[in-house]
Each structure stands twice: as C-alpha cells, then as structure tokens.
Amino acid sequence: MDKLHLHNQLCFPLYALSRQMTALYRPYLEKLDLTYPQWLVMLLLWEHETLSVKKIGCELWLDSGTLTPLLKRMEETGLLVRERCPVDERVVNVLLTKEGRLLEKKAIDIPEHIFSELSISHSQLKSLKKELSGILNNLDKKVSG
C-alpha cells in the first residue's frame, strides 16, 4: 500500500499533462480563433460535415450542458450552423459552413507542430495513444445527454 502522496497517484500526470497539451495547442488555435474543445468539434465536422449534438457529445464524451453554449459561440463566429432536424424535432444538427470548411487548410499542419514540441518518438506516441484509448473505452460512458 503506497502512501497518499501526489506523486504516487496515477491520475495526476494524466490531469496535468492533459492541461499542458492543450496549452501547447493554444498559440496555434488562437490564430484560428478556436479553443481546444472547439478544435475537437471542428475535427469531427471536417470529417463528417453534419452531426447531431448528441453524436458530437458521444464522440467527445461531453454533454449538452457543455456543448450547447460552445456550439452557439461557434455559430456566432460563422464556422457552423445549428438547425433542428425536421424528421425528429428533438434533434439539433450541426452543419459545417463554407467558412468552417476553409479553416481546415489553415489548420492542416498543427498536429506536426505539436508533435515536434514533444520529445517523443512516433512509435511511443502511437502506443501511448492506443493505451489511453484502450483504458478510456473500457470505462462506462456516462455522459448525460
């Protein structure tokens, strides 16, 4: 049994590194007028063009309490449009605008910039990502909706 010390805790480096990684992204994302969670939404939209709030929440493990105001801000800056689904009026679909689509060009080389600032190898990166994803997907997804 380890003592209750900060540096014995598994969870602390996860918490600290996660925040420092978004700090690494910050200067690049600022140029695009994006925050880190907004960047994650853009990644989804660049891939899928249109997604419901629900689907975005499932992918990002975020609930509507976080997403609704975040998406409203992104709608104001013109990157996306939110509209009720005519088939099921409960659903709100999020659509990429032309402006949002164009932003991808300016974002395309952000990941390699970030990677170069981490002094780790490509293979270490890959295995780490896999390991974290594995643990994540073993957890019960309990985001409200």
Interface residues with DNA (CB under 7 A)? 19-20, 22-23, 26, 35-38, 52-54, 57, 61-71, 73, 82, 87-93, 143-145
For a copy of itself, the closer of residues 89 and 140 by Cβ is 140
CB of 81 to DNA, least distance (A): 12
Residues 54-83 as x/- pattern, contact with a copy of itself by CB under 8 A: -----xxx----------------------
Exposure of 8 in the CB half-sphere (CA atoms within 13 A): 5
CA-to-CA separations, 138 to 59, 131, 132, 135, 141, in angstroms, rounded: 15, 11, 10, 5, 9
Rounded Cα gap, residues 95 and 55, in angstroms: 13
